[in-house]
Chains A and B, each alone.
Chain A
Amino acid sequence: EVQLVESGGDLVKPGGSLRLSCAASGFTFSNAWMSWVRQAPGKGLEWVGRIKSKTEGGTIDYAAPVKGRFTISRDDSKNTLYLQMNSLKTEDTAVYYCTVPIMGAPCWGQGTLVTVSS
């Protein structure tokens, strides 16, 4: 069974930093293209970024609102995906989900809440 468990969400002040983790199991993590998606309170869903597998180049792409502030990385030895968030803004307040396509079907974790407020 595929499992994605996000952690690291917290209350942080504007301008601060936070690192989220996503622990994966039930599939071959090293071969997977992993994404982060977020959802602001009461709003729709927004793709944040994606990292390809190392064997396919490990390319990382970001959505425009987070480019230059957020960094996605992966540790295949730990089956873990990361999202380093710097220079946080109030508009980054959201539940952050990690997702992965398994045989064409997107699988999602339960999410972790990040609140950016003074």
Chain B
Amino acid sequence: DIVMTQSPDSLAVSLGERATINCKSSQSVLYSSNNKNYLAWYQQKPGQPPKLLIYWASTRESGVPDRFRGGVSGTDFTLTISSLQAEDVAVYFCQQYYSIPYTFGQGTKLEIK
């Protein structure tokens, strides 16, 4: 199984500042036939289902503000929020959907400092 390790477990950032969440996969999730990393980022607020932010590691889902950006370097993935807004307080998860069992990071709780 591919293990997804997120860091940090929690993060407090001031409004307007940058927030960076990391996710490392234990093996490649790059599909060679289309050169896509099968890695998604989700935002989850209490009582709500996960909301897709980023897929294919760096493609922003329609309607997601451009302050959210996904990056990749090998098996290291990052979700960056360029200027934190109050409504960004949530838990963030990464997920690999390259091979079964599809696996998730443990989540990062983002709060306002």
Residues of A within 8 A of B (CB): 35, 37, 44-47, 50, 61, 63-64, 95, 97, 101, 104-111
- Check B101–A63 contact: CB distance below 8 A: yes
Closest approach, in angstroms, between the C-beta of B3 and any C-beta of chain A? 13
Contact between B107 and A106, CB atoms less than 8 A apart: no
- Interface residues of chain B, those whose CB is within 8 Å of chain A, are 36, 40, 49-50, 52, 55-56, 59, 61, 93, 95, 97, 100-107
Given A44-B93, A44-B106, A45-B95, does the pair A105, B52 have CB atoms closer than 8 Å? Answer: yes
24 contacts between A and B (CB under 8 A): A35-B102, A44-B93, A44-B104, A44-B105, A45-B95, A46-B104, A47-B100, A47-B102, A47-B104, A50-B102, A95-B49, A97-B49, A104-B36, A104-B55, A104-B56, A104-B59, A105-B55, A105-B56, A105-B59, A105-B61, A106-B55, A106-B97, A108-B49, A108-B52
Interface pair A101/B97, CB less than 8 Å apart? yes
Give every chain B residue within 8 A of A101 (Cβ-Cβ).
97
Q: B58 CB to closest chain A CB, in angstroms?
A: 12
A103 to B97, CA, bound (A): 13
Q: Quick one: which of A50, A105, A108 contacts B100, CB cutoff 8 A?
A: A50
Please indicate the chain A residues that have their CB under 8 angstroms from the CB of B61 in the complex: 105
A116 CB to nearest B CB, Å: 20
B101 surroundings in chain A (CB, below 8 A):
47, 61, 63-64
A106 and B104 contacting across the interface, CB-CB below 8 Å: no
**Residues in A neighbouring B95, C-beta threshold 8 A:** 45, 106
CB distance from B59 to the nearest CB of A (A): 7
Q: A11 to B97, alpha carbons, bound, how many Å?
A: 31
Contact B49 A110 (CB under 8 A): yes
- For residue A107, which residue of chain B has the nearest CB? B52
Shortest CB–CB separation between residue B48 and chain A, in angstroms?
8
List, in ascending order, chain B residues with CB within 8 A of A64's CB.
101
